[in-house]
Structure 1
Amino acid sequence: MAPDATVLYERRAPVARITMNRPEYRNAQNSAMTYALDRAFYRAADDDEVKVVVLAGAGEHFSAGHDIGTPHRDAHLPFERRAGLWWDHSDKAGAEQRYARESEVYLGMCRRWRELPKPVVASVQGACVAGGLMLAWVCDLIVASEDAFFADPVVRMGIPGVEYFAHPWVMPPRVAKEFLYTGDRMTARRAYEVGMVNRVVPRTELAVATAALAERVARMPRMGLALAKRAVNQAEDLQGLHAGLDSVFGLHHLAHAHNAETSADPLGGMDVRAMKDAAP
């Protein structure tokens, strides 16, 4: 992909590296980026030479989350839908527009990426916030730099959490509640302690450490990796992850609708500046 693309793709031997490439906006995810990520994951899935995928972010941050205010925000533009059967959102209004779009680009795509039958390793530095968490959480392994931090501050918007609500599965429930209730940042070290992150390394060693882990995993048989991944994913689903995602997605959209009725917009009047100002 072109160097100015929203997502970069490269393959080194058995490892494909997918890099979010909006560093000037802390890799905030507009729809162009989300659909480019989708194409990149398909490309890795279709390439028989690829055994492991690395997901990374260019620049100082992994991802600051969904794009809620850059000059290239494109939430109302139509894109070719591939993650679900909901109709085009761009010519709809109200809750129908939001629900159709987010069923596709947030819940639908994340759920499908989680099922990619090849291991995916997230390489996380700096901010991994809200929508950034969703991308890290669909990965099988997470390597974080010492300066990485994790947060889901959307309760400040009156919303119970991001659309891919994996919180009680990636960390203990009481830790998840504190994480949501305060909106505070969780350090990489704390994320490691609660089991959300596999390894923490110095920032200068992040790329090398991630590549080394990916290459170590790639030595295993492809079918064995696919089946092992499927086995663990099935166990998570038996513990309620799949149904939990669906149920909280409904609560997420109830919150959007409530905000739209009682405040300035579906985000409860919280723009990028207001969210920054509210952070401790």
Structure 2
Amino acid sequence: MADEVLYERRGVVAVVTMNRPRYRNAQNSAMTYALDLAFTRAVDDRAVRVIVLAGAGEHFSAGHDIGTPERDADTSFPRRAALWWDHTDRSGADRRYAREIEVYLGMCRRWREIPKPMIAMVQGACIAGGLMLAWVCDLIVASDDAFFADPVLRMGIPGVEYFAHPWALGPRFAREILFTGDRFSARRAYEIGMVHRVVPRDDLDAAAMTLAGRVAEMPPFGLALAKRALNQCEDLMGMRAGMDAVFGLHHVAHAHNAEVTGDPLAGLDPKAMKE
């Protein structure tokens, strides 16, 4: 694994930690593939019953890396989540589509299918791509200062690639979050059922580990089957097909931006997005 991700086993719990606190754990490709290796390690370790996903420092994750010095969007990596061609020697929409079906939609779907329960331990910012990582987890424990948002509509893009919004937020609240780009608090996330526990930041680690320990008491194969059953029901309610449809719209937006502004992100960098 790269230095971008830390791995620790605490008894029957594997703690996987995003480790770019200087950049609020913005997800470059090195981090994405290191996460995949860490999750694989946890799945293959028979002693691990539950996986906890965390972020080092003040924030869980500020989303996809769109502007740090270590951004590596055009670097090829050997592991594949989808059997699609390498993106690095392509151009235009071909490159964007190939890359995002691999590192964004493909990886998130791969992690959603992990047969062990996953708990997201969220503090501070959980923005855009950070939401995607929280949403692939089965349970979310948040500190009372955590906040969530998907502001990519400011780029003219209709939500992040792993479009779980109608299922994670409900269709009505999803409209508000997308149409305004506004943040919502951990307490609000709890009220709509997206977050399972809200605790003071100092208690976050203990609360997540307590929940992980409670889940770990259940039979492992039963947990795997229950998780698969719930995922299948979500998909029968249209989640997978809906994501496929929205992924196409997402790339129409990228292509439109590139044609009109010369930039698939419509010229918005991290500073502009923050402002």
- Of residues 254, 264, 267 in structure 1, which corresponds to 2:265? 267
1:92 aligns with 90
Contact 1:21 1:57 in 2 (8 A): yes
Residues 173-192 of structure 1 correspond to what in structure 2 (within 5 A)? 173-192=171-190
- Of residues 19, 22, 25 in structure 2, which corresponds to 1:24? 22
Gapped regions of structure 1 (runs ≥ 5) = none
Q: Residues 183-226 of structure 1: CA distance to partner in whole angstroms, max 9, x if unpaired?
A: 00010000000111001000000001000100110011100100
Gapped regions of structure 2 (runs ≥ 5) = none
1:150 aligns with 148
1:172 aligns with 170
After TM superposition, give the deviation of residue 82 of structure 1 in Å: 1.4
1:216 aligns with 214
CA RMSD in angstroms, aligned pairs only = 0.8
Calculate percent identity across the aligned residue pairs: 74
Letter in 2 for 1:25: Y
Letter in 2 for 1:189: R
After TM superposition, give the deviation of residue 111 of structure 1 in Å: 0.3
Letter in 1 for 2:227: K
Q: Which runs of 4+ in 1 moved over 4 A?
A: none
2:77 aligns with 79
Partner of 2:119, secondary structure, is: strand
Q: Tell me, in whole angstroms, the C-alpha distance in 1 between the residues paired with 2:31 and 2:170.
A: 31
Q: Tell me, in whole angstroms, the C-alpha distance in 2 between the residues paired with 1:157 and 1:171.
A: 21
Contact 1:81 1:104 in 2 (8 A): no
- Of residues 57, 60, 66 in structure 1, which corresponds to 2:55? 57
Q: Tell me, in whole angstroms, the C-alpha distance in 2 between the residues paired with 1:76 and 1:112.
A: 21
2:133 aligns with 135
Letter in 2 for 1:253: H
Q: Tell me, in whole angstroms, the C-alpha distance in 1 between the residues paired with 2:43 and 2:80.
A: 15
Partner of 1:262, secondary structure, is: helix
Q: Tell me, in whole angstroms, the C-alpha distance in 1 between the residues paired with 2:74 and 2:35.
A: 19
After TM superposition, give the deviation of residue 81 of structure 1 in Å: 3.5
Letter in 2 for 1:98: R
Q: Tell me, in whole angstroms, the C-alpha distance in 2 between the residues paired with 1:273 and 1:52.
A: 37
After TM superposition, give the deviation of residue 88 of structure 1 in Å: 0.7
